[in-house]
Amino acid sequence: MIFLTVGNWHKGFNRLVKAVDDLKGCHVITEEIIAQIGPGSYKPKYFTAMAFCSTDDFVSNIKAARVVVTHAGVGAISQAAKLKKPVIVVPRKASLGEHFDDHQFSTAKVFETEGKVLVAYEISELPDKLEQTKNFVPTKAEGSERIIQAVRTFLEKIAAQKGKR
C-alpha cells in the first residue's frame, strides 16, 4: 500500500495528488493507495482520499504503507523515517503558487543527502522513484531531531524576514 500525504497547507497540493491519480489510472501504480489530500480542489478518480486524518490514523497509515509519498513536510518525513519506511518527497514549488517560497527544496535536500528519503524534484520522476523504493533502505532516523531543529530555525528566520517587510 502507498500512503500519500500532502499535509494541511491551505493551498493543498493538487499537482502531486493529480500525478499520483494519473499513475494509478494508467496502471503504473497497481497497489492500493490511501491518501490524505488536505484542502486541495483536485479529487482523485482512482483512489479514495480524505482531506484530513487524525494523528492516530496518520501513524497507522504510515505503519501499514510499503512507501510514503509526501510533500517536504518535516513531520511527515520524520514520522515515516522513524518507522523505517521508504519515503518519496515531492517539494512544493513557489513558482506554481504551491507555497510562499521554495524552502521545501532545502528540506528535501537535507533529508536526501542524509539518505533518509528519495526526492522527486519533478513530477515526471515519480515512476522512477517508486521503482527505486523496492530496493531503498533509508538510513537510521538518528539525528532527525537535529534536522528538525535546523529546518525549524530556517523557517523561523524566513517568517521573521517576512514580518519585517
CB 87 within 8 A of CB 67: yes
For cell 510533500, what's the residue? 71
Q: What is the mean pLDDT of residues 118-124?
A: 94
Tens of pLDDT, residue by residue over 74-120, are 888 888 888 889 999 999 875 556 655 676 778 888 888 888 899 99
Look at the pTM and tell me if it is higher than 0.95. Answer: no
Which residues share a beta bridge with 35?
4, 49
C-alpha Rg value of the chain to the nearest Å: 15
CB 41 within 8 A of CB 101: no
pLDDT, residue 43, reads 94
Long-range interactions of 141-145: CB distance < 8 A, separation 24+: 141/78, 141/81, 141/82, 141/84, 141/116, 143/114, 144/78, 144/81, 144/82, 144/116
Does 11 have pLDDT greater than 90? no
pLDDT higher at 25 or 149: 25
Q: What is the mean pLDDT of residues 49-64?
A: 94
- The answer for residues whose C-beta is within 8 angstroms of residue 150's C-beta and 6 or more apart is 110
Taking alpha carbons only, the member of 78, 80, 84 closest to residue 62 is: 80
Residue boundaries of the structural domains of the chain: 2-164
pLDDT, residue 108, reads 82
Q: Nearest 5 degrees, angle CA 159-CA 160-CA 165?
A: 95
Return the minimum-mean-pLDDT range out of 10-14, 100-104, 158-162: 100-104
CB 23 within 8 A of CB 53: no
pLDDT, residue 99, reads 57
CB 92 within 8 A of CB 98: yes
CATH of domain 2-164: 3.40.50.2000
Q: What is the chain's mean pLDDT, rounded?
A: 86
Does 5 have pLDDT greater than 70? yes
In the chain, % of residues over pLDDT 70 = 85
Does 8 have pLDDT greater than 70? yes
